[in-house]
Amino acid sequence: MIDFRLSEEHEALRRTVRDFARSEIAPVIGGYYEREEFPYELIARMAEMGLFGLPFPEEFGGMGGDYFALCVALEELARVDSSVAATLEAAVSLGAMPIFRFGTPEQKRRWLPELCSGEALGAFGLTEPGGGSDAGATRTTAKRDGGEWVINGSKSFITNSGTKLTQLVTITAVTGTKPDGTKEISTIIVPSGTPGFTVARKYSKVGWNASDTHELSFVDCRVPVANLVGEAGRGYAQFLSILDEGRIAIAAIGAGLAQGCVDECLRYVREREAFGHPIGEYQAIQFKIADMEVRAHSARLAYYAAASKMSGGEPFKKEAAIAKLVSSDAAMDNSRAATQIFGGYGFMNEFPVGRFYRDAKILEIGEGTSEIQRLLIARSLGVG
């Protein structure tokens, strides 16, 4: 049976997050964005609401929901602001999820309760200065020395890695060579504050300006061998599967941003007058808004379809790639159209559409660029 209606729980969550985003995020986020400041107060409120524990079982302090619940919350947040949505997405689907999916019982007990509570944030370190798309090209190394891994290397563009709440980053590192001569890549937890682990410069970004992004460096950084996540040599596969899920979450953010553009325009075109009429009376504007609604709707359906396959236990790699592609295109196109509808005010920081315009671009880059999504889709069709 095809049923796109939300369950009562998902609908209640959507309403709660929507109300929160409109009443508490919308009035203040512009200031954080301009100051390029991490919004600790908003993150604390999201933690109180249980958003950081949404898809995790109650035994680890989670809310016992599912991955789709996380996506619904992300869509509603991104409808108002993408920096807070990105912070939640990275904390849950990239920070905590590798430990939940692949960690040892001890690692889950040690880290998940605080990550689920939102009092601590986790980060995910895959991308390196030498490249992010080619995830197997990892140069960071972790050499075994007695009971420790000795890590050397660096990571680029890591979300949530430098906040006061950050407690760990899970990284990929080369831990040896496989019998076929290829790199053995493993996932290792590096707690914040470990000697030799430096949270380096904070990036100045085009968008997501109220989210936290840093470069990381590891120089003879020692962590216990017990910080290995799952088996040695499984890191590459673990990170790819985390990214498959993460793409559905990013698609939800894109759908939210695309819908947020419609929300803003609907208000504006009724108020703004040109040539003696509200601009919403002009068909050129009406058609732009209709196209925007179509794109937001299509993005939502695309991520619902991917999430539905994921929760049904079916393969969803292709659907996740399609959802991310459709949704990031929708976010880009809608934010460009919305900025145009706002005219000169669209270019001013006092209106959210300019922020949406700047925030949309990263959706075509992070967690696999649009080119990589196309490669995955083509591969799933047997081409390439």
Ligand X SMILES: Cc1cc2nc3c(=O)[nH]c(=O)nc-3n(C[C@H](O)[C@H](O)[C@H](O)COP(=O)(O)OP(=O)(O)OC[C@H]3O[C@@H](n4cnc5c(N)ncnc54)[C@H](O)[C@@H]3O)c2cc1C
The 199-238 site mask, x for binding ligand X (CB under 6 A), equals ------x--x----x-------------------------
Give me the helix-helix angle, 67-78 and 8-20, nearest 10°. 30
Of 14-22, 250-258, 335-343, 364-372, the window that binds ligand X (rule: CB under 6 A) is: 364-372
Stretch that binds ligand X, among 4-12, 119-127, 246-254, 319-327 (CB under 6 A): 119-127
Catalytic residue at 128? no
Which residue of the set 36, 231, 367, 371 is catalytic?
Answer: 367
Q: Which is nearer to ligand X, 214 or 288 (CB)?
A: 214
Residue with token string 């953010």: 253
Pair 43, 87: CB distance under 8 Å: yes
b/e per residue 326-344 (b: at least 16 CB within 10 A)? bbbbbbbbbbbbbbebbee
Does residue 292 interact with ligand X by CB under 6 A?
Answer: no
Binding pattern to ligand X, positions 133-172, x when CB under 6 A?
x-----------------------xxx-------------
For ligand X, the closer of residues 38 and 124 by Cβ is: 124
362 binds ligand X (CB under 6 A): yes
* 378 scored as a contact of ligand X (CB under 6 A): no
- Under 8 Å between Cβ of 67 and 10: no
Q: By Cβ distance, which residue is nearest to ligand X? A: 132
Stretch that binds ligand X, among 51-59, 62-70, 114-122, 359-367 (CB under 6 A): 359-367
Of 41, 43, 49, nearest in space to 69 by CA: 49
Residue-by-residue DSSP string for 114-154: HHHHTSSEEEEE--BTTBSS-GGG---EEEEETTEEEEEEE
Q: 275-304 as b/e, with b when 16 or more CB fall inside 10 Å?
A: eeeebbeeeebeebbeebbebbebbbebbb
Residues within the interface to ligand X (CB under 6 A): 90, 94, 123-127, 131-133, 157-159, 205, 208, 213, 362, 365-369, 371-372, 375
Residues annotated as catalytic are 367
